[in-house]
Structure 1
Amino acid sequence: MMFSEKFVLADRVLQVAPSPTLAVNAKAKALRAAGADILNFSVGEPDLSTPIHVCEAGKKAIDDGHTRYTPAAGTPELREAVCAKLKKDQGWDYVPDQVQISCGGKHGLYNIFQAIVNPGDEVLIPSPYWVSYPPMVQLAGGTPVIVPLRQESDFDIDPSILAQYATDKTKAIVLNSPSNPTGAVYSRAALAEVAKMAYANGWLVITDDMYEDLFYGEGRVPHILHADPRLKDQVVLSNGVSKSFAMTGWRIGYSVGPREVIKAMNKIQSQSTSNPAAPSQYAALAALTGPQDFPRQLREAFIPRRAFFVEALESITGVSCVNPMGAFYVFPNFSAYYGKTFNGQIIDGSVALADYFLGEAKVASVPGAAFGADAFIRFSFATSMENIKKGMDRIKKALAALQ
């Protein structure tokens, strides 16, 4: 009997696609392993190594025998450290039973949606969005409602547009600032208006703060809880050590919010992963409680790369790019080149153009269609200036070859 997906696989699997960013990164690595000179701008991870003291803490945890199960919610010490960080950095008061440690920020977000979304619930997702938000909502049985953001407004939230997409089925809204993929930071004024809407309608606000330490403005990045502290009981924070401490492979994220939500998330996690890896939790503890100069070093390394990338993109005829105020991505608009051809192949959108860049320029990027914005392509500047300069030269030549 032949295997048939129609009769074997669950419907929930058939409605979502694999992560496009991971797929592009895997393809780029495979081509590089085969000998191709690939410049990879697709991956969303810092190019600096994990701080030495963090690595040493992970090794010591193994040597000390911390290789067994921990509480499903994470070790008490790490949850305490998260609370201390939020108090020190933001002035927010939380206690450990309002914290869950997860297997990366992505896993924490998945737990959040599983805990709060019922069939028929709608979740507002500003677009461009991180690729995994809509599938996560769908896997929880909900309906992602995509709210368009405008390049002309630097991808800030427009409360009047948001109101047009809200209904009596709206359960939650996702805020990602600084944003992946745009690098945009929502203004305090816009967040204050969104906070009023959320408070009045009882929406849960999910804030993905993974890039909070990579902010290129003055002071702390604007946050909805600073715009309106009344929302605290309706906000679930999602964060982690992956970006700020170059710990993507350690897989440690954390979520903070109302006890009822965190308790439900812990129940789900106890029946899925049990707990994050114990040595990784001790490494994350060292990251949060040890020297805090590494995120600043990251910012300082990224600032000149960001400036060069944006200037180089803006110098290309027909290309426009919002200057990212956070994260480590540029998100240029290449739509002026759609409809052009190369060797008879039509560039009919971001997927075709990203494939063209990979095949002809040997530059890996992520098509904007994956983020709900087909006019754009995402490049990461979490790589060397040398690679960025080479990559931009290749991109310019590739675009010039289109007819």
Structure 2
Amino acid sequence: MVTQRIKNMTPSATEEMTAIVENMKRQNINVIGLNLGEPDFNTPANINNAAKKALDDGFTKYTAVAGIPELRSAICEKFKIDNGVNYKPNEILVATGAKQALFNAIFTTCEAGDEVILPTPCWVSYVEMIKLAGAKPVFVKSDESTGFQLNIPKIAAAITAKTKAIIINNPNNPTGAVYSEDCLKELAKLVEEKDLYIISDEVYEKLIYDGVKHVCIATLLPNKRENVIIINGFSKTYAMTGWRIGYVAANETLIKGMDALQGHITSSVNSMTQIASIEALTGQQQTIEDMKKEFNERRKYLMDRIKSIPELSCDVPQGAFYILPNIEKLFGKKYKGKVLKTSVDVTNFFLEAANVAVVPGEAFQAPNNVRISYSNSMGNLVKGMNNLENALADLL
């Protein structure tokens, strides 16, 4: 029998949909996957070549759990140049993806019975990581009418004597929202007044559009840096999802705790990936701009198509590669005699009637929405939206 801990855990809806899509493809069903949260671009050649050289040089042994010094120093330089914040190498830990970095941070800061505030909609794994740590997720809804900006008064009202931390994702998955500097200043003031941890997942920070500025919250808390934990990685920015490497920046005491925890789970990230990641940070950055330009074209196309479909509505996202259209107008309609009542019903309808895979909003604490990823080719986006529009016309 599995433990109660595992029974209480909800499997990842994004991973489940990926498995469904792969199974359909094996059956030669031409499904269009608009569900996957990874760039459809190849890892840049300079990064690949650095990993190949590491292999040829025999750099294939264990490294320190927290990462090789050269990579930790390169990450510090990245923070200084990109974010205007100074970290020391002993304040950096390299992990097996940003997901493990988050797991490390939550398990190092949260005790059983603690509460962690989560603005919603939010990424699926935050909830389960908090629960696995024995803590309680406290959801605070962000409104579509404000572009899903943080609702600071509601966050303040949710704070209790048990609150240990607030987790934000900036830019946000699944909404694509980028939090304004004014909004983050208000949040920083709240963190300082209440002496809370702020865990900021900034893995999409380079994928921002329309001239919008990304603000690292560490710059707004110079007197409370010991309370700030920044999560980032290479998967989204450098199309390195399969390489599995991310990192966390925090005060030295927390990093030592995370180092000890990771030492009993995975130990270090594989050695050649660390070398490749140094090249990612220090080598040419033009591929990021090229990728972002293509994402932006897809984003604009999707928003134009959504505007032309009466049953759907969507706020314009400013970051990442997702849109979160509202589907409330579809509730109550029928497909093959079945009434669509939830976003899961709508997702299943899209899959069956249009061969288009999206992710139900329930997974992100957004039951009136679905998440569509534009990390797919423009050709597939066009075909997918055509299929969706045709399927919607058949609803009763």
Q: TM-score, normalised by structure 1?
A: 0.96
Paired position in structure 1 for 2:105: 112
Residues 249-292 of structure 1, C-alpha deviation per residue, up to 9 Å, x if partnerless?
Answer: 00000000111111100000000001111111111111011111
Please give the residue correspondences for 1:118-129 in structure 2 after superposition, counting only pairs within 5 Å. Answer: 118-129=111-122
Contact 2:332–2:341 under 8 Å retained in 1? yes
Unaligned runs of 5+ in 1: 1-7
Alpha-carbon separation, structure 1, partners of 2:213 and 2:344? 35
Matched, 1:325 2:313: no
Amino acid in the other structure paired with 1:280: T
Alpha-carbon separation, structure 2, partners of 1:230 and 1:156? 25
Alpha-carbon separation, structure 2, partners of 1:175 and 1:270? 26
Paired position in structure 2 for 1:281: 274
Paired position in structure 1 for 2:294: 301
Amino acid in the other structure paired with 1:384: S
Matched, 1:229 2:259: no
Alpha-carbon separation, structure 2, partners of 1:376 and 1:217? 24
Paired position in structure 1 for 2:371: 378
Matched, 1:346 2:339: yes
Alpha-carbon separation, structure 2, partners of 1:297 and 1:385? 15
User: Structure 1 341/222 Cα, relative in aligned 2: closer, same or farther at 3 Å?
Assistant: same
Contact 2:309–2:389 under 8 Å retained in 1? yes
Please give the residue correspondences for 1:213-252 in structure 2 after superposition, counting only pairs within 5 Å. Answer: 213-218=206-211, 220-252=213-245
Paired position in structure 2 for 1:4: none
Post-superposition shift, 1:400? 1.5
Post-superposition shift, 1:26? 1.4
Post-superposition shift, 1:171? 0.3
Matched, 1:159 2:152: yes
Amino acid in the other structure paired with 1:284: S
Alpha-carbon separation, structure 2, partners of 1:235 and 1:148? 22
Post-superposition shift, 1:394? 0.7
Alpha-carbon separation, structure 1, partners of 2:304 and 2:263? 48
Contact 2:83–2:216 under 8 Å retained in 1? no
Query: Secondary structure of 1:230's match?
Result: coil
Alpha-carbon separation, structure 2, partners of 1:136 and 1:126? 15
Alpha-carbon separation, structure 2, partners of 1:217 and 1:282? 33
Paired position in structure 2 for 1:199: 192
Contact 1:195–1:231 under 8 Å retained in 2? no
Alpha-carbon separation, structure 2, partners of 1:207 and 1:266? 19
Query: Secondary structure of 1:326's match?
Result: coil
Matched, 1:178 2:168: no
Alpha-carbon separation, structure 2, partners of 1:183 and 1:28? 23
Contact 1:340–1:347 under 8 Å retained in 2? yes
Q: Say what the alpha-carbon RMSD is for the aligned residues.
A: 1.0
Paired position in structure 2 for 1:3: none
Paired position in structure 1 for 2:361: 368
Amino acid in the other structure paired with 1:112: A
Paired position in structure 2 for 1:188: 181
Percentage of identical aligned residues = 39
Query: Secondary structure of 1:155's match?
Result: coil
Amino acid in the other structure paired with 1:229: P
Query: Secondary structure of 1:126's match?
Result: strand
Paired position in structure 1 for 2:352: 359
Residues 198-218 of structure 1, C-alpha deviation per residue, up to 9 Å, x if partnerless?
Answer: 001110000000000001142
Contact 1:188–1:227 under 8 Å retained in 2? no
Query: Secondary structure of 1:229's match?
Result: coil
Amino acid in the other structure paired with 1:240: G
Contact 2:117–2:167 under 8 Å retained in 1? yes
Alpha-carbon separation, structure 2, partners of 1:261 and 1:292? 31
Paired position in structure 1 for 2:306: 313
Amino acid in the other structure paired with 2:17: V
Paired position in structure 1 for 2:76: 83
Alpha-carbon separation, structure 2, partners of 1:219 and 1:76? 33
Alpha-carbon separation, structure 1, partners of 2:159 and 2:105? 20
Amino acid in the other structure paired with 1:65: G
Q: TM-score, normalised by structure 2?
A: 0.98
Paired position in structure 1 for 2:256: 263
Matched, 1:134 2:153: no
Matched, 1:54 2:75: no
Amino acid in the other structure paired with 1:209: E
Alpha-carbon separation, structure 2, partners of 1:383 and 1:219? 23
Alpha-carbon separation, structure 2, partners of 1:174 and 1:56? 36
Residues 24-71 of structure 1, C-alpha deviation per residue, up to 9 Å, x if partnerless?
Answer: 011111101210011000100111100001011111111111111110
Given candidates 203, 207, 210, the residue that maps to 1:210 is: 203
Amino acid in the other structure paired with 2:32: L
Paired position in structure 2 for 1:68: 61
Post-superposition shift, 1:318? 3.0
Alpha-carbon separation, structure 2, partners of 1:155 and 1:227? 21
Aligned residues: 396
Query: Secondary structure of 1:47's match?
Result: coil
Query: Secondary structure of 1:132's match?
Result: helix
Query: Secondary structure of 2:224's match?
Result: helix
Post-superposition shift, 1:219? 6.0
Amino acid in the other structure paired with 1:110: F
Query: Secondary structure of 2:117's match?
Result: strand
